Chains A and B, each alone.
Chain A
Amino acid sequence: MKPTVTGTDLALPGRLQPTQVEIAGGQLTCLVGPNGSGKTSLLHALSGIGRPEGEVRIHGRDPRRLSPAKRARLLTYLPATREIAWPLTVRDIAALGLDGSDVAVRVSAALRLLELDNLAEHRIDRLSTGERSRALIARVLAAEAELLLLDEPTANLDPLWQLRLMEQLRRLAREQARTILVAIHDLEIARRYADRLLLMAGGRIVADGPPDEILAGEPMARIFGIRRGTDGWEPLRPPADPRSLL
């Protein structure tokens, strides 16, 4: 499949080693790796956060040359944090930074999709963490951008919503040919929904391929220190006896 998004020599000093990455539209790509492996840094570098080195092209266009309004139609980013400093309504949060005559329609559609329509006029600080997450995801969907970069979108969601969200993202990729990159910790969900997995460690991409192949591969076990057992994932070595730490 032809890549729609390319990152050339992308780097963030101290966090992300110079990285080449190509992501195809029409697929759901998941980014896995232990804590501190550089998943968020790669998302940052692609979305232009923290003055990254290197170049990003989305459908051949350089997002850095675009106004915020045009850029919002090209790429959208969901941060891992759910902290929101000001008590805006859910509807206003979902519309933040978006531009165009049809924003209201896009926001309403996204809120309906995430079943937030009856909470739309509620203040975001009065919602549960999961509902707050959904409001932030609604903003990402309402942007209707070409490239969606999501940092742990399933965190704080209940199991049903985790599945529904991933299902929705995969459908969005396949039916509307969007390019979607999701950093995720849940390997089972990644295996089930991703078309392609990128495994990260030490600030670089160390393996790239279909989920089943990556998850069964040697780098996976070496980097995470886990393997697939009869009863799901298990550590390679038994955890240290807490008494030995004293």
Chain B
Amino acid sequence: MKRFLTLGLPGLLLLLFLLSLGSPWSPILELAQRDADLAGAILLELRLPRAILALVYGAMLGASGAAIQALFANPLASPDLTGTTSGAALGAVVTAYLFAFASPFALAGGAVLGALGALALLLLLAGPRAEAATLLLSGIAISALAGALTTLALALAPSPFAFYDAYAWLMGSLADRSLNQALFAAVPAGAALLALWRFRSPLDSLVLGEDVAQSLGHDVRRMRLWIICLTAVGVGACVAVCGAVGFIGLVAPVFARWFVGGHPGRALGPAALIGACLLLGADVLARTAPLGRMLPLGVITALLGAPFFLWLVAHMRWSLSR
């Protein structure tokens, strides 16, 4: 298990990253022999930003999913099910269409505010150690509200492209992003990931409840505030560039905990790696599926993630009824 974690996962990640840049059966190799400049431009300007975004966004979703699950002591919490990503999408859309700010700074700021708002609302509705049902219901309510408001903002928008954009914001897409845009997501998300890393062992001490964590000297209130802010910043910055992508934040931590004996805090690192692998894999699939056109990324993650979610709920119910 440990060897797979230290060698296998990073290896798989590297393989998927390279695959995302160009597979052996892709026409780009052929093109490189005929027109090296064009092939280079495609690699650098189209595929590299896309691969970086998939890597960073996936890692951010995985790690923030693990952190939120540990914080709420609930394996069903994740940035999408708690409404964080929809809140971020709403923030970005409102900034772009209602206030007509198009600079990436403003978009990212709007998305971060939206994500913060959603998480604050969740904490208010569900409480710090929420039961699964309360957490999910609050998350559904927040997601539905944010989704409706996003659609409303786009319906009121003056731009004729708004409906195409709505699709991209709500389903998520990594296509046609520039290297600059990729860095705009990667820098805040990278910083948030590094900062989240510090909370691994405090999050593990929460297994025995807030009291025990406090008796060990962890300031639980401050930790909660930090994790919520870091998640909002990281996920918000990624959503501002790529839109909302579902289910990775739910699935990655569950797999990650298998590798670390169930420790929710220690799962942070593996969850980031698994999240990155999942999103890179999903994007490669979206691009190369033999359907003649590119598939929406969010559809692929949802198609793979939703059955897993169903299994998780059934499994929880089964272990509760035992």
Whether a CB of chain B sits under 8 angstroms from the CB of A128 is no
Q: Does A189 contact B (CB under 8 A)?
A: no
B73 touches A86 (CB 8 A): yes
Cβ of B258 to closest chain A Cβ, rounded Å:
12
| A113 in the interface (beta carbon within 8 A) | no
**Are B215's CB and A77's CB within 8 A?**
yes
Q: List residues of A (28-58) whose CB comes within 8 Å of B's CBs.
A: 44, 47-50
Say if the beta carbon of A116 comes within 8 Å of chain B.
no
**Listed stretches B117-125, B201-209, B283-291; interface member:** B201-209
Which of the 9-residue segments B53-61, B107-115, B154-162, B259-267 touches chain A? B259-267
User: Taking CB as reference atom, which chain A residue is nearest B207?
Assistant: A86
B219 nearest in chain A by CB position: A51
A93 contacts across to B, CB distance below 8 A: 207-208
Flag if A63 contacts B217 (CB, 8 Å). yes
A156 to chain B, nearest CB (A): 16
B side interface size, CB within 8 A = 23
B261 contacts across to A, CB distance below 8 A:
88-89, 92
Among B207, B217, B264: residue with most chain A CB under 10 A: B217
Instruction: Tell me the A1-18 residues at the B interface (CB within 8 Å).
Output: none
Contact status A92-B215, CB under 8 Å: no
Contacts of B212 in A (CB 8 A): 77, 79, 96-97
What's the Cα separation between A79 and B205 when bound, in Å? 13
A49 CA / B217 CA spacing, docked (Å):
8
Chain A contacts for B214, CB-based, 8 A: 47-50
- A85 contacts the other chain (Cβ, under 8 Å)? yes
Query: Chain B nearest CB: distance from A124 CB in Å?
Result: 9
- Using A68-B205, A88-B262, A96-B204 as known contacts, say yes or no to A79 and B216 having CB atoms under 8 A apart: no
With both beta carbons as reference points, the residue of chain B lying nearest to A98 in the complex is identified as: B216
Interface residues of B in 206-237 (CB under 8 A from A): 206-209, 211-212, 214-218
Interface residues of A in 115-155 (CB under 8 A from B): 123, 125, 136, 139, 149
* Partner among A50, A68, A92 whose Cβ is within 8 Å of the Cβ of B263: A92
Q: Is the CB of A88 within 8 A of B217?
A: no
| Chain A CB within 10 A, most for which of B129, B202, B211 | B211
Interface residues of B in 265-291 (CB under 8 A from A): none
Q: Mark B247-267, 1 if CB is under 8 A from A, else 0.
A: 000000000000001111000
Tell me whether B204 and A48 are in contact (CB under 8 A): no
A71 lies within 8 A of B208 (CB): no
The answer to whether A236 has its CB under 8 Å from any CB of chain B is: no
A63 / chain B contacts, CB cutoff of 8 Å: 217
Residue of A72, A85, A125 touching B73 (CB-CB under 8 A): A85
A232 CB, min distance to chain B CBs, angstroms: 33
Q: Point out the residues of chain B lying under 8 angstroms from A75, CB to CB.
A: 215
Interface size class of A (residues with CB under 8 A): 20 to 34
Q: Quick one: which of A53-89 are within 8 Å of B by CB?
A: 63-64, 66-68, 71-72, 75-77, 79, 81, 83-89
Q: Which residues of B contact A97 (CB under 8 A)?
A: 201, 204-205, 208, 212, 216
Please indicate the chain A residues that have their CB under 8 angstroms from the CB of B211 in the complex: 44, 47, 49, 77, 79
| Inter-subunit contact A86/B217 (CB<8 Å) | no
Taking the nearest CB of chain B, how far is it from the CB of A138, in angstroms? Answer: 12
**Is B217 touching A67 in the complex (CB atoms < 8 A)?**
yes
User: Quick one: which of A48, A66, A96 contacts B205, CB cutoff 8 A?
Assistant: A96
Compute how far the CA of A88 lies from the CA of B74 in the bound complex, rounded to whole angstroms: 14
Q: How far is the CB of A73 from chain B (nearest CB, A)?
A: 11
**Contact at B216–A72, with CB atoms within 8 Å?**
yes
Q: Is the CB of A87 within 8 A of B262?
A: yes
Question: Do residues B215 and A47 form an inter-chain contact, with CB atoms below 8 A?
Answer: yes
Given the complex of chains A and B, what is the CA–CA distance between A164 and B263 in angstroms? 31
For A86, the chain B residues whose CB sits under 8 A away are 73, 207, 262-264
Complex Cα gap A63–B214 (Å): 12
B299 CB to nearest A CB, Å: 32
| Chain B interface residues toward A at CB < 8 A | 73-74, 129, 201-202, 204-209, 211-212, 214-218, 261-264, 319
Provide 19 A-B residue pairs closer than 8 Å at the C-beta atoms, listed in order of the A residue: A47-B215, A48-B217, A49-B211, A68-B202, A71-B217, A76-B215, A77-B211, A77-B215, A79-B211, A84-B207, A84-B208, A85-B74, A85-B206, A85-B207, A86-B73, A86-B207, A86-B263, A92-B262, A96-B212
Q: A87-B262, A88-B207, A96-B204 are in contact. List 16 more A-B contacts (CB 8 A).
A: A64-B217, A68-B218, A77-B212, A79-B209, A79-B211, A83-B209, A84-B207, A85-B207, A86-B207, A92-B263, A93-B208, A97-B201, A97-B204, A97-B205, A97-B208, A97-B212
Which positions in A face B, CB cutoff 8 Å?
44, 47-50, 63-64, 66-68, 71-72, 75-77, 79, 81, 83-89, 92-93, 96-97, 123, 125, 136, 139, 149
